[in-house]
């Protein structure tokens, strides 16, 4: 089964035949696949099961965010150049967010830009990283410091890959879907709350992914370069990124989506306090997050360090003023809300109370 929405995203259960169909007129010498050591083993055989994809030239990078660097980019630019890459080449990025971010950046810069197709293999990359055109690398100790916004020609989503994903990585991607639900409708939030990640109903998940990608794609279409409404996609991420960075700095790393889920608790509290976001949805969402994501252990002694991360977030327009996207209600988005330190600390108190710390 294949379906295509109007944002060049294809949802398929016939991955190889659908990607081959996108490559008509491309010679196999011009076809490149970027993958990593994990996806090479688990996902590449499905992509290469038929057609000209079997003859593509493959570059396998080491797996992990640690390799999302300019050194990896240089090595792949060289690989393309030394293996006959031209401005007519096509790069297929097969992997999670690191591969689609880095591969998109390479495709957007090699020969001043070549065609590229994203084939995301994790839930996080299907519903977020692979869609919307943000590409780039980490640089100088900062995440996604250098990059380009220019979307893949097509994103091909095959949810079969999710059957081999562990529960933690499933939940990590699911947090971005919760965010999209909050930006959309109560009906979508109800559907999302019915999913049990410990016994996944993959048919339900595939349908939830389709809606989730549509919600993101609609926002990106209105504001591809994040001047306005696209900031809505940062919901949960100001506090979430602080948790994530702090978890790495204190040697107890958490997955991105877990950080976002816990960030959503704090930012929905702020939405309630500042914008009157309804308490019933706040409490339902908090319950779902607590039941599924557990806790990231913090005490009030950690607040100043967490606040410093928020104050240095690159999304802040004025240095030192912490900028949030908040909600008046589900689907009613208020970007650019400056929130004072005292209220942010109250949001962290609320997070701790909610998760039982």
Query: Could you give the CA distance from residue 248 to residue 258 in angstroms, rounded to a whole number?
Result: 13
Stretch that binds ligand GLY, among 128-136, 202-210, 309-317, 348-356 (CB under 6 A): 128-136
CB of 203 to ligand GLY, least distance (A): 26
Size of the site for ligand GLY (CB under 6 A): 5
Q: 56 or 98: whose CB is closer to ligand GLY? A: 98
* Residue nearest ligand GLY, CB atom distance: 233
Stretch that binds ligand GLY, among 61-69, 127-135, 150-158, 334-342 (CB under 6 A): 127-135
233 binds ligand GLY, rule: CB under 6 A: yes
DSSP symbols for 139-207: ETTEEEEEEEE---SEEEE-GGGGGGS-HHHHHHHHHHHHHHHHTT-HHHHHHHHT--TTS--HHHHHH
256 binds ligand GLY, rule: CB under 6 A: no
Query: Could you give the CA distance from residue 272 to residue 240 in angstroms, rounded to a whole number?
Result: 18
68 binds ligand GLY, rule: CB under 6 A: no
Residues from 316 through 345 that contact ligand GLY (CB under 6 A): none
* Interhelix angle 186-193/202-222, nearest 10 degrees: 150
Q: Count CA atoms within 13 Å of residue 320 on its CB side.
A: 0
CB of 154 to ligand GLY, least distance (A): 17
132 binds ligand GLY, rule: CB under 6 A: yes
Q: Which of 61, 60, 56 is nearest to 31 (CA)?
A: 56
180 binds ligand GLY, rule: CB under 6 A: no
State which of residues 68, 115, 230, 352 lies at the interface with ligand GLY (CB under 6 A): 230
State which of residues 18, 36, 101, 128 lies at the interface with ligand GLY (CB under 6 A): 128
The H or E element that residue 296 is part of is none
134 binds ligand GLY, rule: CB under 6 A: yes
Query: Could you give the CA distance from residue 34 to residue 61 in angstroms, rounded to a whole number?
Result: 8
Residues with Cβ within 8 Å of residue 105, at least 6 apart in sequence:
73, 135, 136, 137, 146, 147, 148
272 binds ligand GLY, rule: CB under 6 A: no
Q: Which residues bind ligand GLY (CB under 6 A)?
A: 128, 132, 134, 230, 233
């Amino acid at each position: 089964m294949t379906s295509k929405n109007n944002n060049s995203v294809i949802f398929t259960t016939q991955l190889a035949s659908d990607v081959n169909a996108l490559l008509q007129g491309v010679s196999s010498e011009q076809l490149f696949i970027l993958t990593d050591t994990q996806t090479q083993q688990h996902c590449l055989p499905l992509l290469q099961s038929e057609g000209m994809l079997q003859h593509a030239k493959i570059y396998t990078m080491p797996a992990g965010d640690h390799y999302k660097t300019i050194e990896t980019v240089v090595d792949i630019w060289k690989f393309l150049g030394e293996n006959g890459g031209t401005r007519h080449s096509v790069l297929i990025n097969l992997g999670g967010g690191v591969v689609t971010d880095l591969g998109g950046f390479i495709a957007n810069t090699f020969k001043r830009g070549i065609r590229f197709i994203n084939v995301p293999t994790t839930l996080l990359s299907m519903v977020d990283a692979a869609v919307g055109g943000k590409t780039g690398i980490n640089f100088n100790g900062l995440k996604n410091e250098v990059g380009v916004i220019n979307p893949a020609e097509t994103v091909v989503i095959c949810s079969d890959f999710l059957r081999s994903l562990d529960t933690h990585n499933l939940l990590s991607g699911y947090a971005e879907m919760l965010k999209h639900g909050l930006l959309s409708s109560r009906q979508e939030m109800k559907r999302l709350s019915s999913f049990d990640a410990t016994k996944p109903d993959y048919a339900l998940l595939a349908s939830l992914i389709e809606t989730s990608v549509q919600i993101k794609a609609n926002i990106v279409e209105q504001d591809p370069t994040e001047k306005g409404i696209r900031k809505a996609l940062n919901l949960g991420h100001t506090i979430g990124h602080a948790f994530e960075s702090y978890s790495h700095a204190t040697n107890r790393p958490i997955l991105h989506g877990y950080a976002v889920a816990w960030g959503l608790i704090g930012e929905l509290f702020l939405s309630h306090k500042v914008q009157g976001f309804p308490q019933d949805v706040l409490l339902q969402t908090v319950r779902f997050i607590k039941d599924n994501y557990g806790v990231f252990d913090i005490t009030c002694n950690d607040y100043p360090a967490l606040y410093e991360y928020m104050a240095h977030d690159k999304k802040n327009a004025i240095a030192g003023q912490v900028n949030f996207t908040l909600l008046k209600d589900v689907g009613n988005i208020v970007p650019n809300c400056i929130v004072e330190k005292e209220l942010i600390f109250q949001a962290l108190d609320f997070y701790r109370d909610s998760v039982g710390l």
